[in-house]
Structure 1
């Protein structure tokens, strides 16, 4: 942790602690160093799905550390960048949820259209079958009519032939 303090070349003044008891002052000064070190150490461990409150709390802590003379600019800059990305990710997640809803709606509509198409195909098959039955009946009637007309003509022919001159 002290390496982190040295890496960021911190030279805090702890002016707000001057009013405190000396024993408390030293403990609080060490606590501020530890807090700064812990905050910097946790930075690389932040994950995209971590709550935004973690970043906001860290930014608040930096403000407190800044009043004691810590140089928090680079850390604050990084946290603000992460916060900005997190905000964009949240918006993107919201957009994805909306798109997923639209996809589900489209899938449902597609399913309904496919069902309607299947029903129409079934009706078409039924109508085709009925049409074939009617065509068969029509052909049978035409053949019967033809046979009846042919029989009438044969009868007429035979009558005419048998009639004396």
Structure 2
């Protein structure tokens, strides 16, 4: 396994001394496979992974360390990832809060514009109504002048 060339290991497996002798070798092999798996998992981690997955890796590294694996470098990388994950999560929450505030302000602005527009429309309707009344008045006056001319016999 190439990972053991990059991160040489000399585990002591002392906790396995308490295990059934028939199971020791299998458990030791399982720990070796777990080491390779945790290195791959750590390498493939993304900032979007769950907090639980990071805590699981932390626990696995502690278990491997208890069996003599040299995991300090991996723990250091994981600790940095956890800090970045926590900061990312905090900033993501803050981003969501700010986004909600922006949306609320936009809704308020739209409501204000609608209210202002409704007031302006109402004002214009009043002006329009006054103009129509004036037009009707002028038509009536014009018609009255025509009637006066007819009464005088001019038409």
TM-score w.r.t. structure 2 length?
A: 0.78
- The aligned residue for residue 109 of structure 2 is 110
1:110-138 per-residue CA deviation (whole Å, 9 max, x = no partner) reads 1111111111211221333355467776x
Greater Rg over alpha carbons, structure:
1
Distance 2:98 2:20 in 1: 60
Q: Which stretches of structure 1, 4 residues or longer, exceed 4 Å deviation after superposition? A: 130-137
Question: Which residue pairs with 2:14 in the alignment?
Answer: 15
Q: How far 1:29 moved relative to its partner?
A: 1.1
Gaps of at least 5 residues in structure 2 are: 142-155
How far residue 43 of structure 1 moved from its aligned partner, in angstroms, is 1.6
Name 1:34's counterpart in structure 2: 33
**Alpha-carbon separation, structure 1, partners of 2:108 and 2:38:** 51
Supply the RMSD in Å over aligned alpha carbons. 2.3
Inter-partner Cα distance in structure 2 for 1:120 and 1:105: 22
Correspondence for 1:72? 71
Q: Distance in 1 between matches of 2:119 and 2:100?
A: 29
User: What secondary structure sits across from 1:61 in the alignment?
Assistant: helix
Please report how far the alpha carbon of residue 71 of structure 1 lies from its aligned counterpart in structure 2 after TM superposition: 0.8
Query: Which residue pairs with 1:122 in the alignment?
Result: 121
Question: What is aligned with 1:4?
Answer: 3
Alignment length, in residue pairs? Answer: 140
Point out where structure 1 has 5 or more consecutive residues left out of the alignment: 142-165
TM-score with structure 1 length normalisation? 0.74
CA distance in structure 1 between the partners assigned to 2:74 and 2:61 by the alignment: 8
Kindly indicate whether the alpha-carbon contact (under 8 Å) linking 2:42 and 2:57 is maintained by their aligned counterparts in 1. Answer: no
